Protein backbone atom coordinates (compact mmCIF):
# COMPACT_ATOMS: atom_id res chain seq x y z
CA UNK A 1 0.00 0.00 0.00
CA UNK A 2 1.24 3.45 -0.83
CA UNK A 3 3.33 5.14 1.81
CA UNK A 4 3.67 2.13 4.13
CA UNK A 5 7.24 1.17 3.33
CA UNK A 6 9.71 2.58 5.80
CA UNK A 7 13.20 2.15 4.43
CA UNK A 8 16.34 4.11 5.11
CA UNK A 9 17.13 5.01 1.52
CA UNK A 10 20.72 5.43 0.35
CA UNK A 11 21.64 8.98 -0.59
CA UNK A 12 23.85 9.11 -3.71
CA UNK A 13 26.86 11.42 -3.25
CA UNK A 14 24.93 13.71 -0.93
CA UNK A 15 22.64 14.82 -3.75
CA UNK A 16 19.78 16.95 -2.60
CA UNK A 17 21.33 17.72 0.79
CA UNK A 18 20.85 21.22 2.11
CA UNK A 19 23.86 23.29 3.06
CA UNK A 20 22.43 26.21 5.02
CA UNK A 21 20.43 26.02 8.24
CA UNK A 22 18.14 28.92 7.32
CA UNK A 23 14.90 28.83 5.34
CA UNK A 24 14.82 26.27 2.54
CA UNK A 25 13.25 28.77 0.17
CA UNK A 26 13.20 32.51 0.52
CA UNK A 27 11.09 34.51 -1.93
CA UNK A 28 11.93 38.21 -1.88
CA UNK A 29 9.88 40.97 -3.53
CA UNK A 30 9.01 38.81 -6.52
CA UNK A 31 7.25 40.68 -9.33
CA UNK A 32 6.12 39.41 -12.72
CA UNK A 33 4.16 41.11 -15.47
CA UNK A 34 2.78 39.72 -18.72
CA UNK A 35 2.23 42.82 -20.85
CA UNK A 36 0.13 45.20 -18.78
CA UNK A 37 -1.08 42.49 -16.39
CA UNK A 38 0.76 42.24 -13.08
CA UNK A 39 0.65 38.54 -12.19
CA UNK A 40 2.84 38.71 -9.08
CA UNK A 41 3.22 41.99 -7.24
CA UNK A 42 6.08 42.23 -4.73
CA UNK A 43 5.58 38.79 -3.18
CA UNK A 44 7.78 37.78 -0.21
CA UNK A 45 7.72 34.70 2.06
CA UNK A 46 9.97 32.06 3.60
CA UNK A 47 9.55 28.29 3.74
CA UNK A 48 11.11 26.24 6.54
CA UNK A 49 12.34 22.66 6.16
CA UNK A 50 10.29 19.55 6.80
CA UNK A 51 6.86 21.14 6.42
CA UNK A 52 4.04 21.01 3.89
CA UNK A 53 3.19 24.38 2.35
CA UNK A 54 0.15 24.84 0.19
CA UNK A 55 -0.01 27.73 -2.28
CA UNK A 56 -3.58 28.29 -3.31
CA UNK A 57 -5.78 30.80 -5.05
CA UNK A 58 -8.29 31.09 -7.86
CA UNK A 59 -7.32 30.14 -11.41
CA UNK A 60 -5.05 32.70 -13.06
CA UNK A 61 -3.86 34.19 -9.75
CA UNK A 62 -0.20 33.42 -10.48
CA UNK A 63 0.29 30.12 -8.60
CA UNK A 64 1.90 28.33 -11.53
CA UNK A 65 3.98 31.40 -12.42
CA UNK A 66 5.26 31.48 -8.84
CA UNK A 67 6.08 27.76 -9.04
CA UNK A 68 7.98 28.22 -12.32
CA UNK A 69 10.04 30.97 -10.73
CA UNK A 70 10.76 28.91 -7.63
CA UNK A 71 12.16 26.10 -9.79
CA UNK A 72 14.13 28.53 -11.96
CA UNK A 73 12.12 27.84 -15.12
CA UNK A 74 11.07 31.48 -15.53
CA UNK A 75 12.80 34.73 -14.65
CA UNK A 76 11.01 37.38 -12.56
CA UNK A 77 10.85 41.03 -13.60
CA UNK A 78 12.03 41.99 -10.11
CA UNK A 79 12.93 40.24 -6.86
CA UNK A 80 14.67 36.93 -6.30
CA UNK A 81 14.22 33.35 -5.08
CA UNK A 82 16.85 31.94 -2.73
CA UNK A 83 16.91 28.15 -2.78
CA UNK A 84 19.09 26.93 0.06
CA UNK A 85 20.81 30.31 0.00
CA UNK A 86 21.42 30.30 -3.77
CA UNK A 87 19.68 32.93 -5.89
CA UNK A 88 18.18 30.68 -8.54
CA UNK A 89 16.88 33.59 -10.60
CA UNK A 90 20.34 34.96 -11.46
CA UNK A 91 22.53 31.86 -11.01
CA UNK A 92 24.66 30.67 -13.92
CA UNK A 93 23.76 27.41 -15.67
CA UNK A 94 26.02 25.19 -13.56
CA UNK A 95 24.89 26.64 -10.22
CA UNK A 96 21.28 26.38 -11.30
CA UNK A 97 21.72 22.74 -12.29
CA UNK A 98 23.34 22.01 -8.92
CA UNK A 99 20.46 23.77 -7.18
CA UNK A 100 18.00 21.77 -9.24
CA UNK A 101 19.30 18.52 -7.78
CA UNK A 102 18.02 19.69 -4.41
CA UNK A 103 14.42 19.59 -5.52
CA UNK A 104 12.03 17.36 -7.42
CA UNK A 105 8.89 18.40 -9.25
CA UNK A 106 5.66 16.50 -9.69
CA UNK A 107 4.03 18.08 -12.74
CA UNK A 108 0.29 18.44 -13.20
CA UNK A 109 0.43 16.07 -16.18
CA UNK A 110 3.03 13.86 -14.40
CA UNK A 111 5.32 14.55 -17.41
CA UNK A 112 6.67 11.00 -17.56
CA UNK A 113 8.71 10.33 -20.69
CA UNK A 114 6.40 8.20 -22.81
CA UNK A 115 9.23 6.37 -24.53
CA UNK A 116 10.54 4.98 -21.23
CA UNK A 117 9.00 2.51 -18.81
CA UNK A 118 8.01 3.64 -15.32
CA UNK A 119 11.24 2.17 -13.90
CA UNK A 120 13.36 3.81 -16.60
CA UNK A 121 11.69 7.14 -15.86
CA UNK A 122 12.60 6.87 -12.19
CA UNK A 123 16.12 5.68 -13.02
CA UNK A 124 16.78 8.56 -15.42
CA UNK A 125 17.84 11.28 -12.93
CA UNK A 126 19.85 8.76 -10.87
CA UNK A 127 21.75 7.52 -13.93
CA UNK A 128 22.34 11.05 -15.17
CA UNK A 129 23.66 12.49 -11.91
CA UNK A 130 25.43 9.64 -10.13
CA UNK A 131 28.12 7.07 -10.84
CA UNK A 132 26.19 4.25 -9.21
CA UNK A 133 26.25 0.77 -10.70
CA UNK A 134 23.26 -0.33 -12.73
CA UNK A 135 22.33 -2.91 -10.07
CA UNK A 136 22.35 -0.23 -7.36
CA UNK A 137 20.25 2.08 -9.51
CA UNK A 138 17.77 -0.75 -10.10
CA UNK A 139 17.56 -1.33 -6.35
CA UNK A 140 16.98 2.36 -5.67
CA UNK A 141 14.31 2.51 -8.35
CA UNK A 142 12.53 -0.47 -6.81
CA UNK A 143 12.63 1.16 -3.39
CA UNK A 144 11.22 4.44 -4.69
CA UNK A 145 8.46 2.66 -6.57
CA UNK A 146 7.58 0.58 -3.51
CA UNK A 147 7.47 3.78 -1.49
CA UNK A 148 4.68 5.13 -3.69
CA UNK A 149 2.96 1.75 -4.09
CA UNK A 150 4.01 1.25 -7.72
CA UNK A 151 6.27 -1.78 -7.39
CA UNK A 152 4.08 -3.88 -9.69
CA UNK A 153 4.02 -1.36 -12.53
CA UNK A 154 7.77 -0.89 -12.99
CA UNK A 155 7.85 -2.35 -16.49
CA UNK A 156 4.77 -0.62 -17.81
CA UNK A 157 4.88 2.37 -20.12
CA UNK A 158 3.16 5.60 -19.04
CA UNK A 159 0.41 5.15 -21.63
CA UNK A 160 -0.47 1.78 -20.08
CA UNK A 161 -1.26 3.10 -16.59
CA UNK A 162 -4.04 5.22 -15.04
CA UNK A 163 -3.84 8.91 -14.13
CA UNK A 164 -3.37 8.16 -10.43
CA UNK A 165 -0.58 5.69 -11.17
CA UNK A 166 1.11 8.26 -13.40
CA UNK A 167 1.05 10.76 -10.54
CA UNK A 168 2.62 8.22 -8.19
CA UNK A 169 5.25 7.28 -10.77
CA UNK A 170 5.96 10.98 -11.31
CA UNK A 171 6.34 11.34 -7.56
CA UNK A 172 8.76 8.40 -7.43
CA UNK A 173 10.84 10.13 -10.11
CA UNK A 174 10.64 13.46 -8.25
CA UNK A 175 12.14 11.86 -5.13
CA UNK A 176 14.64 9.68 -7.02
CA UNK A 177 17.65 11.77 -5.96
CA UNK A 178 16.35 12.24 -2.41
CA UNK A 179 15.68 15.93 -2.84
CA UNK A 180 15.27 18.29 0.10
CA UNK A 181 12.25 19.93 -1.50
CA UNK A 182 9.44 18.54 -3.65
CA UNK A 183 7.14 20.85 -5.62
CA UNK A 184 3.72 19.50 -6.53
CA UNK A 185 1.80 21.26 -9.32
CA UNK A 186 -1.89 20.49 -8.78
CA UNK A 187 -1.28 16.88 -7.70
CA UNK A 188 -5.02 16.13 -7.35
CA UNK A 189 -6.06 17.45 -10.76
CA UNK A 190 -8.15 14.93 -12.69
CA UNK A 191 -8.15 12.26 -9.96
CA UNK A 192 -11.06 10.60 -8.18
CA UNK A 193 -11.55 11.43 -4.46
CA UNK A 194 -10.02 8.14 -3.27
CA UNK A 195 -6.90 8.65 -5.38
CA UNK A 196 -6.72 12.26 -4.15
CA UNK A 197 -6.66 10.82 -0.63
CA UNK A 198 -3.87 8.40 -1.58
CA UNK A 199 -1.77 11.20 -3.07
CA UNK A 200 -2.41 13.43 -0.03
CA UNK A 201 -1.29 10.64 2.29
CA UNK A 202 1.82 10.11 0.20
CA UNK A 203 2.70 13.80 0.40
CA UNK A 204 2.27 13.75 4.19
CA UNK A 205 4.21 10.49 4.61
CA UNK A 206 7.10 11.54 2.36
CA UNK A 207 7.37 14.83 4.20
CA UNK A 208 7.47 13.20 7.63
CA UNK A 209 9.51 10.08 6.76
CA UNK A 210 12.08 11.66 4.46
CA UNK A 211 12.12 15.07 6.14
CA UNK A 212 11.59 16.89 2.88
CA UNK A 213 9.83 20.21 2.41
CA UNK A 214 6.72 19.96 0.26
CA UNK A 215 5.35 22.89 -1.70
CA UNK A 216 1.92 22.06 -3.09
CA UNK A 217 0.09 24.20 -5.63
CA UNK A 218 -3.60 23.39 -5.44
CA UNK A 219 -7.09 24.74 -5.00
CA UNK A 220 -8.63 21.51 -3.69
CA UNK A 221 -9.95 22.59 -0.28
CA UNK A 222 -10.22 19.07 1.28
CA UNK A 223 -6.61 18.41 0.32
CA UNK A 224 -5.47 21.71 1.74
CA UNK A 225 -7.03 20.98 5.13
CA UNK A 226 -5.66 17.42 5.09
CA UNK A 227 -2.04 18.09 4.26
CA UNK A 228 -1.06 21.71 4.86
CA UNK A 229 1.12 22.83 7.75
CA UNK A 230 0.84 26.31 6.34
CA UNK A 231 -1.25 27.81 3.55
CA UNK A 232 -0.48 30.81 1.38
CA UNK A 233 -3.32 32.30 -0.65
CA UNK A 234 -2.66 34.48 -3.69
CA UNK A 235 -5.12 36.87 -5.26
CA UNK A 236 -4.56 39.85 -7.56
CA UNK A 237 -0.82 39.25 -7.52
CA UNK A 238 -0.60 39.62 -3.72
CA UNK A 239 -0.54 37.27 -0.74
CA UNK A 240 -3.94 37.71 0.88
CA UNK A 241 -3.54 34.99 3.52
CA UNK A 242 -0.65 33.13 5.12
CA UNK A 243 -1.13 30.86 8.11
CA UNK A 244 -2.19 27.48 9.44
CA UNK A 245 -5.20 25.52 8.11
CA UNK A 246 -6.99 26.35 11.38
CA UNK A 247 -6.45 30.07 10.85
CA UNK A 248 -7.55 29.63 7.23
CA UNK A 249 -10.79 27.97 8.33
CA UNK A 250 -11.51 30.74 10.85
CA UNK A 251 -10.41 33.63 8.62
CA UNK A 252 -12.86 36.53 8.44
CA UNK A 253 -11.42 37.84 5.17
CA UNK A 254 -14.23 37.93 2.57
CA UNK A 255 -11.76 36.80 -0.10
CA UNK A 256 -10.68 33.76 1.91
CA UNK A 257 -14.25 32.92 2.96
CA UNK A 258 -15.51 33.06 -0.61
CA UNK A 259 -12.65 30.86 -1.82
CA UNK A 260 -13.08 28.26 0.96
CA UNK A 261 -16.85 28.09 0.52
CA UNK A 262 -16.74 28.24 -3.29
CA UNK A 263 -19.33 31.04 -3.46
CA UNK A 264 -19.93 32.39 -6.97
CA UNK A 265 -20.78 35.81 -5.43
CA UNK A 266 -18.14 37.83 -3.62
CA UNK A 267 -15.00 39.88 -4.03
CA UNK A 268 -13.33 37.26 -6.24
CA UNK A 269 -14.52 38.05 -9.76
CA UNK A 270 -16.05 35.03 -11.45
CA UNK A 271 -15.90 35.23 -15.25
CA UNK A 272 -18.63 37.74 -16.16
CA UNK A 273 -19.74 35.91 -19.30
CA UNK A 274 -20.41 32.74 -17.32
CA UNK A 275 -22.47 34.62 -14.74
CA UNK A 276 -24.47 36.33 -17.49
CA UNK A 277 -25.02 33.07 -19.35
CA UNK A 278 -26.19 31.40 -16.15
CA UNK A 279 -28.64 34.25 -15.50
CA UNK A 280 -29.97 34.15 -19.07
CA UNK A 281 -30.49 30.40 -18.94
CA UNK A 282 -31.87 29.97 -15.46
CA UNK A 283 -32.91 33.42 -14.30
CA UNK A 284 -31.59 35.06 -11.14
CA UNK A 285 -31.56 32.87 -8.05
CA UNK A 286 -33.84 30.15 -9.45
CA UNK A 287 -32.96 26.57 -10.08
CA UNK A 288 -33.58 25.26 -13.60
CA UNK A 289 -36.79 23.39 -14.25
CA UNK A 290 -36.36 19.82 -13.14
CA UNK A 291 -33.10 20.70 -11.40
CA UNK A 292 -32.30 18.60 -8.40
CA UNK A 293 -31.12 21.40 -6.16
Partner 1 sequence: MLILTESLTAVGSVINAQLSALGRTVRFGGSAALYAARGVINRRIYPRHDLVVQIDYTGARSTPIMILTGFLVGMTLVAQTTPTLGRYGPQELVAGVVGVSVLRTLGPVLAAIIFAGRVGAGFTAELGTMKVGEEVQALETMGIDPIGYLVAPRFFAAVIMLPCLTICFDAAALIGGFIIGVYNFNIPPEDYLDVTKQFVYISNFTFGVFKSAVFAVIITVVCCYKGFTVQGSAMEVGRATMQAIVVCLVSIIFTDFVLALFYNILARYDIVQ
Residues near partner 1 (CB under 8 A) are 71, 73, 97-98, 100-101, 103-105, 107-109, 111-114, 124-125, 127-129, 173
Shortest separation between residue 123's beta carbon and partner 1, angstroms: 11
Q: Nearer Cβ to partner 1, position 82 or 106?
A: 106
Q: CB-wise, 104 or 237, nearer to partner 1?
A: 104
Q: Minimal CA–CA distance to 70: which of 50, 51, 55?
A: 55
Contacts of 177 (CB under 8 A, 6+ apart): 12, 15, 16, 101, 104, 125, 126, 129, 130
Decide whether 168 or 173 has the Cβ nearer to partner 1.
Answer: 173
Task: Decide whether 127 or 210 has the Cβ nearer to partner 1.
Answer: 127
Alpha helices of the chain — where are they, by DSSP H? 63-70, 93-100, 118-129, 134-147, 163-174, 193-210, 221-227, 245-249, 254-261, 272-282
In angstroms, what CA-CA distances link 110 with 67, 96, 173, 249? 15, 22, 10, 30
Return the number of the residue (166 or 230) whose C-beta is nearest partner 1.
166
Q: How far is CA 147 from CA 1, 247, 255, in A?
A: 9, 32, 38
- Among 173, 185, 175, smallest CA distance to 71 is for 185
What is the smallest separation between the CB atom of 92 and partner 1, expressed in angstroms?
14
- In angstroms, what is the minimal distance from the CB of 243 to partner 1? 29
CB of 227 to partner 1, least distance (A): 22
* Nearest-approach distance from CB 125 to partner 1, in angstroms: 4
Amino acid sequence: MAGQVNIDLPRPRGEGQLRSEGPVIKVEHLTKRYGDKVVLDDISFELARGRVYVIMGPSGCGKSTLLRMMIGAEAPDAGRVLLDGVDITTADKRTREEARRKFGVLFQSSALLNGLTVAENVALPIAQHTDLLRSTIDLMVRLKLELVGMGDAADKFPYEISGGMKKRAGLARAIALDPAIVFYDEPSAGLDPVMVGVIDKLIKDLTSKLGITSVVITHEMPSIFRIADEAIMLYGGKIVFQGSPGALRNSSSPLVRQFINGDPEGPINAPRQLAELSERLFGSGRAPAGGAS
